[in-house]
């Protein structure tokens, strides 16, 4: 029964259940994706990630034209997550956005040191950004443990990760990278640099190339991969 207040009709959404909304949204996304030739270059698992990123943004062409997967990126990240990998992130937004349903199930510790006082002091002393210093400290604490490295905002985070992994002689088979920083300064360069690192050392990862990216998209990417774990 509809309700009216002072001559204004109060309406309810046609679909009110969250799971139904998500199911219908993904069905509509799948249908529209089929009209993009670039969609058909992705493997089945990659398509699931692409659809989740579109679900988070509504940007079909931007996602499909920007995303880069190494050959075994999704399988590698799945394997690391199920091996109780640490997840080192550059923003507390990513840390807050990741569902404990997944992180608790697979015992994934999500690490973001960016706001810690010791990071501010180290960044000031070293003349770097806080995200650069935070990445250094996080890599030190997680040395040679299974780790997924996730950047959704600050490109300096990626530079710090590459430097730390190589200088400290990490076992690179134990890491994978999700590089989604966004913006105008150092962003495109950081992604090109990260891509060359992945390809040179056969490290698995996912990159949103160009200026495009976001912490929320990094969360959606990880959630999509969690959902692919059988």
Catalytic sites, residue numbers: 55
Task: Look up residue 87 and give its two tokens.
Answer: 């997840």
Whether 138 and 113 have beta carbons less than 8 Å apart is answered as yes
- Length of the chain in residues, anyone? 230
DSSP-derived 3-state class of residue 89: strand
CA 38/CA 100 separation, integer angstroms: 33
How far is Cα 75 from Cα 33, in angstroms, rounded to an integer?
23
CB atoms within 10 A of CB 18: 8
Describe the crossing of helices 18-33 and 44-57 by its angle, rounded to 10 degrees.
110
Beta strands 86-89 and 147-151, pairing class: parallel
Q: Considering all CA atoms of the chain, what is the largest pairwise distance in Å, rounded to the nearest integer?
A: 70
């Amino acid at each position: 029964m509809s309700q009216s207040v002072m001559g204004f009709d109060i309406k309810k959404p046609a679909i009110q259940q969250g799971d139904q909304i998500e199911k219908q949204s993904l069905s509509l996304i799948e249908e529209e994706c089929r009209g993009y030739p670039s969609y058909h270059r992705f493997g089945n698992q990659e398509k699931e990630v692409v659809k989740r990123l579109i679900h988070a943004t509504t940007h079909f062409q931007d996602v499909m034209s920007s995303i880069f997967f190494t050959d075994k990126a999704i399988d590698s990240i799945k394997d690391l997550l199920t091996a109780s990998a640490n997840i080192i992130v550059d923003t507390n937004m990513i840390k807050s956005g990741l569902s404990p349903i997944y992180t608790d199930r697979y015992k994934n510790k999500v690490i973001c040191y960016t706001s810690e006082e010791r990071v501010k002091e180290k960044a000031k002393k070293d003349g770097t950004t806080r995200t650069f210093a935070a990445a250094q400290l996080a890599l030190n604490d997680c040395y040679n443990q299974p780790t997924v490295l996730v950047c959704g905002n600050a490109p300096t985070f990626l530079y710090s990760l590459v430097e730390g992994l190589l200088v400290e002689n990490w076992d690179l088979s134990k890491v994978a990278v999700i590089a989604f920083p966004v913006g105008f300064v150092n962003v495109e360069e950081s992604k090109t640099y990260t891509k060359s690192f992945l390809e040179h050392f056969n490290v698995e990862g996912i990159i949103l190339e160009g200026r495009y990216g976001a912490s929320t998209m990094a969360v959606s990417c990880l959630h999509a991969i969690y959902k692919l774990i059988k």
